Chain A
């Protein structure tokens, strides 16, 4: 499904998240909130945590979640005013001047990473910190990660760290059956964190 970019000179930004290294500290969430001025109640990235097994054999599984910056994004297709768009380097963005807050993209996104900004009334989501990336910096979550579980880089460059991690590890994407071509790769992704939460219960609800 994914269309190959002919011009390999252009970067294609992507992320690899090594879940063997993730310790579930939620630092990436905080770094993102601070960097992008994300209001209370919404998150551009968050770490879903699952506890599985029975005592004494218990394990916690983490899944840092963010926009997958798909190769073939559904949100761009459904947006009636072209507010959701894909940059040349693959970053999927929301144009705040065009977005009218109809929330159709929220309903269509298979990863549920879009939120209504409570003050602006428009749709908000992860943009790979493009303002940092354009200056040659790493996204805030990547830079803040204490265990270097998150790696960001150019997927078109075979020598970049992300490309080598993808080439040498078993990696997974989320929901590949939707044909979206996600560009966030996970190493050591646990099945339990991908499952829909209706069968499981929130601990705090008890």
Chain B
């Protein structure tokens, strides 16, 4: 198995809100191996973005983060601001959801890429500008030397997301975190952006974490999947086994709610995501789970190997076999 570049252990993130502490991430364990594309799926509020913002050290100061995040042997939780700065953008970089607002409107594209280069490499302004143009070319922007002199408002949404990717890969990071990179884009543009990400991953051997709520996107590009619910991992495994025989009822629900050819009606998961100010006891999904029993309200289930998947469901073995969604 490939070397693990990012290891997250028992990560907790709590925000102090006026209505009390809100634990958005409640003990996440997660590994990313070099060169792989890990999909992280979950609905809004499941803690997927917060997990990786905490990894980047980009959460506001009022967020309390505990646990361990090791990046190539370096502990990031509790690291000094200076250490974090030297990691951010160099070993670990991030693509954000909305390309329309992720770029600074008053600086030229070339400068915004060059700034990333010069912050971690000892490059002259001229060299950085040249490299910025190469990067624009890599992410598939035509006429890169002209485009580098333009401002973000002169780019379309898809082109801006390419620029954001160019910034993120400027220093050839070990791990690239893509936080819903296609959510704000048209379907046709989505496919192009995913291609760019895949191309970068293959060309530079970058490990990619693709955060999304779109299982279709995951099915297309991911090697492994991690399903999150209410700040916990509920299931993880390879893309094939997860789509072929999902064990966790939440994963099954997600897959069953996807539109597929030949299927007349979509089957939604009933109910709503839990209020994280006051999460349900035990398995947070028991309030919406068709298989829930009294045992589910007791303890927080941990990930347990179940076939070739790891599933956090105490009743996983008793459940009827799922249909295949492969």
A, B co-complexed: no
